Structure 1
Amino acid sequence: MGNNTNTNTNEKFKSKIGGQALVEGIMMLGPTTGAMACRLPDGTIDLETWEENNGKNAPWYRKVPLVRGCTNFVISLTKGYKYMMKSAEKQMVDDEEEDDKKKDKKKSKSEKTENVAASAAADTPAEAAADKTAEASEKSGEKKEEKEKDTVTDIFMYLGILLGVAMAIGLFVFLPKWLVGFIPSVKEHRIVRSLLEGIVKIVLFVLYMYLVSLMKDIKRQYMYHGAEHKTIACHEAELPLTVENVRKQTRFHKRCGTSFIFIVLIVSILVMCLVPFTVTWQRIVASLILLPLVVGISYECIRLAGNNDNTFTRILSAPGLAMQRITTREPDDSMIEIAIAAMKPCIPENKEEDKW
């Protein structure tokens, strides 16, 4: 592990590592390594790691301003959904294992009966060869079945992402513009209309997140979200990653995805004020076309807020930090253990690669 001592005591270390709460787990993404840690139903921690390419050798589209915002958002969305599904599957392992045990018992009983019947006569060389061929064919069939299963899983994953994006566009792009379109007095005033559409978007977003937070499973996920933030804060404070040290940290973080979404909403209001269209369907189409630009600008804003601490960046970060009072909860120690397990493999040897 690289030395985390910061030579400049006036400059607070900011890590490039980010994360996401999963189902009974946490995913962390570092410059060169990604990791997913989950608490299995039997109480053990399952850890999975993979290679990442977001360090100094990252491709150009993850470095160029504006472009990097869109690409990083799409990558995060895809990986987030993929590992969310994986973490959910891990919670069903125990049920599947029980079913497998029952099947194995039945199979062993059946095999014993067959062995008793077969013991009356020894296999001929031809029969032995046939058995080997059948066994090889069975293994080949299992591999083919596994590949087909992975393909089907990928198809469902991308369909799920598309459905999620479509629902988000419907709720936060189409609905606000459609509702405000019914107010006759603002139809022809694009700036007033853009501001009203933005207010409706923000109200819908806050209301949606609050209602979702009332669900039992989501409450636990928000606790894992808090554990993720606290662990990153502990790493940025350059303290050893222990449960005691992590527990003391704040659960609010400037560079959180919640803050990013809030900045997207604010930037979209400003951008739509410049759009000359006043007809509802034209404004919806314009919003969709300008969405990559809005995401790109928002990413640069959150980088600015994360790298600087002044009046402007504090105002910029305030709505997202306030929203984290809903989207994060204080975690218990078992959740902090999961966050630490996911964080450790993601910290690069070279500290320079970890700088935000």
Structure 2
Amino acid sequence: MQIGRSRSVCFSYQDKSIMEVANSDMKKFWKGLKDWFTGDWFRQCPSVGGQAVMEGVMMQGKKCIAISVRKKDGEIVTRKKPIKRISEKHRWLGYPLIRGVVNFVVMLYTGVGIISESAEMLGEETEEPSKFEKKLAEWLHMKPDDVMMIMAVVLAVVLAVVLFFMVPIALESLIKMVLPENELLINFVGGLIRIGMFLLYIVSVSRLKEIKRVFQYHGAEHKAVFCNESGLPLTVENAQKFSTLHPRCGTSFLVIIFVLSIIIFTLLGTDSSNVFMRLGSRLALLPLVAGISYDILQVLARMPRNWLVKALMWPGLMMQKLTTAEPDDSMVEVAIRSLKVAQGIEDVETDD
């Protein structure tokens, strides 16, 4: 009987241990789900973002942005700016779907400003605001330079709508005349047309000498980030060992948007023959596509060794072969300088 009681006690301890593990796992699961929903999970993961500019690289750390460019005399000039995260002031902007749209808009706006600033750092003459922009700045109580940036963003958005929405939709309408009942095929072909337009655009601009160098700096940015994430000392020699293709690149983000748009436009978009109805439907669904794509990219980029993740990331990485190129040592040096300042390893005077 004692043996029986002993076994019973042992079983109860084992049972209790299993319950404790189960409860612990459930708590971790719910905490992970909560952190994902609020965006805390992304903020807890150490990551650095970047962007290639004319003759340089911008790097974004947790607290600041650093822009480094190499002037014609060989000197590396760096500026640092504090980051003002709107999602920290308004937490709801960091929630699923919303955060992807917010990050896309912020990236577009700051990207234009950074390109303009890098040109100024190189000593190149920047375009003076027009009379219209000056009057608009007065009316909006804004700086003329800010108005110029907004106008540039608006122009970029209009061009994107024409290239990646209006042209594909016009071609979709022609297909619809031949295959009126096959909406799935029409949306699939429309998605392929959008990808084709993007490829055509990238291949066209890559022929420009200045853009080729930007693509090299893009590769330098990825190498520096890879080196930093590996834990190796940030040196040119170490960074050059890494690939120019990075899973968190904005190019991969665009590829996910293109692929996901085919699915969402098919499921939720209108099948109207009216071009403007189809355009309105696509534009209305674009924030949803961008929001989901952002979360997908962030999650996939943090599981790079999983075979399924590798397969899903492959198209985006292949697309990066068009938007990156092997940099020389001087370019990698600029990227490392920018990264060190963004990470707080080195310092320069803050530009408020």
CA shift in 2, pair 1:177/1:306, >3 Å:
same
The one of 134, 154, 160 aligned to 2:152: 160
Q: Deviations over 1:310-338 (max 9, x none)?
A: 34322321111001111000101111111
CA shift, 1:55, in A, is: 11
| 1:15 positional shift | 3.7
Q: 2:163 matched to which residue of 1? A: 171
Query: For residue 281 of structure 2, what is the amino acid of its counterpart?
Result: A
Cα distance between partner residues in 2 of 1:153 and 1:218 = 24
1:77 matches 2:108: yes
Q: CA separation of 1:190/1:343 partners in 2, compared to 1, >3 Å: closer, same or farther?
A: same
Determine what percentage of the aligned residue pairs are the same residue: 38
Match of 2:332 among 316, 331, 336: 336
2:231 aligned counterpart, secondary structure: coil
Q: Which residue of 1 aligns with 2:173?
A: 181
2:174 counterpart SS class: coil
Structure whose alpha-carbon radius of gyration is higher: 1
Determine the structure 2 residue equivalent to 1:297. Answer: 292
Structure 1 residues not aligned, in runs of 5+: 1-12, 97-146, 350-356
Aligned to 1:151: 143
- Aligned partner (choices 56, 63, 86) of residue 25 of structure 1: 56
Aligned pairs (5 A) from 1:180-219: 180-183=172-175, 184-219=177-212
Give the AA of the match of 1:218: I
Q: What stretches of structure 1 move > 3 A for 4+ residues in a row?
A: 53-59
Structure 2, unmatched stretches of 5+, are 1-43, 127-136, 346-352
Q: CA deviation at 1:61?
A: 4.3
Distance in 1 (alpha carbons) for counterparts of 2:92 and 2:61: 17
Conserved in 2, the CA contact under 8 Å of 1:54 and 1:62? Answer: no
Aligned length: 285
Aligned to 1:277: 271
Report the residue type matching 1:278 in the other structure.
S
1:253 aligned to 2:246? Answer: yes
Inter-partner Cα distance in structure 1 for 2:86 and 2:301: 18
Q: Which residue of 1 aligns with 2:29?
A: none
Please tell me whether the aligned partners of residues 31 and 54 of structure 1 are also in contact (alpha carbons under 8 angstroms): no
| CA distance in structure 2 between the partners assigned to 1:303 and 1:50 by the alignment | 24
Which gives a bigger RCO, structure 1 or 2 (Cα 8 Å, sep 6+)? 1
| Whole-angstrom CA distance in 2 between matches of 1:339 and 1:55 | 26
Per the normalisation by structure 2, the TM-score is: 0.76
Q: Which amino acid aligns with 1:168?
A: A
The answer to whether the Cα contact below 8 Å between 2:87 and 2:93 also exists between their aligned partners in 1 is no
Question: What is the letter of the counterpart of residue 321 of structure 2?
Answer: R
Shift of 1:211: 1.4
Return closer, same or farther for 1:156/1:53 CA change in 2, 3 Å cut-off.
closer
Q: CA RMSD in A?
A: 2.3
> CA offset at residue 14 of structure 1?
6.4
> What secondary structure sits across from 1:27 in the alignment?
strand
- Could you tell me whether the CA contact under 8 Å between 1:30 and 1:54 is conserved in 2? no
Aligned amino acid, residue 49 of structure 2: G
Cα distance in 1 for residues equivalent to 2:298 and 2:319? 18
TM-score, length basis structure 1: 0.75
Once residues 226 and 301 of structure 2 are traced to their aligned partners in structure 1, the CA distance between those partners, rounded to angstroms, is 13
